[in-house]
Amino acid sequence: MVQRLFRRKKKEEKLEEQGQKVERTKLEQICGNNKEVCEALWHTMFYDPTKIKTTMEEAAKTAANFEKNGESRRARVYYHIAGGLALWKGDASKVKQYFGKCEKLAPDMDYGLITKIPEKAVEKAQEFYKEFLKQN
C-alpha cells in the first residue's frame, strides 16, 4: 500500500476522542457510510475535471503510446487522467478499463479498490460533480 501523504484520519480520530466536532468533506458527505467508495474516489477522481485540457480518448491514446514505448510511469499518469475523466463522464466500463491499466502498471498504488466497484464509484462521483460543478 502507498503511504498516505496526509494524516487527516488520525487527526480526526484525536479530535473525536477529545469530543470536538469533525467536519466532513463534501465527498465524505456524499458517500455517507460507504468508506470503500469514498476511499476509492479520494485516490482517483479530480476535484474539477473541467480544467483538464485533454479528452478521455486523447489521454487513453497517449497512455497506450507511452505503454507501447516502455514508459510505464507516463502511461500510468495518462491512464489515471483518462480514468478520472471517465468518472466525470459517468462511464463505469471505462473507469474499470483505465484504472485497471493503472493497477497493472503500478500495483503498489491504490487502484485495486476502484476497479472492484466502478458502478458505485461513478454513481457517487456523479453526485459530487452535479453538486460541485453547478456552484462554479
Percentage helix, strand, coil for the chain under 3-state DSSP, each rounded to 5:
70, 0, 30
Cα–Cα distance, 40 to 118 (Å, whole number):
9
The predicted pLDDT at position 114 comes to 92
The predicted pLDDT at position 110 comes to 83
**pLDDT per residue as tens, the chain (136 positions):** 344 444 455 555 554 555 556 677 787 888 888 888 888 888 899 989 999 999 999 999 999 999 999 999 999 999 999 999 999 999 999 999 999 999 999 988 888 889 999 999 999 999 999 988 876 5
The predicted pLDDT at position 4 comes to 46
Cα–Cα distance, 59 to 52 (Å, whole number):
10
Give Cα separations from 76 to 61, 62, 93, 104 (angstroms).
Answer: 12, 10, 18, 9
Three-state SS for 22-75 is CCCCHHHHHHCCCHHHHHHHHHHCCCCHHHCCCCHHHHHHHHHHHHHCCCHHHH
The predicted pLDDT at position 1 comes to 38
The predicted pLDDT at position 136 comes to 54
The predicted pLDDT at position 2 comes to 43
The predicted pLDDT at position 75 comes to 97
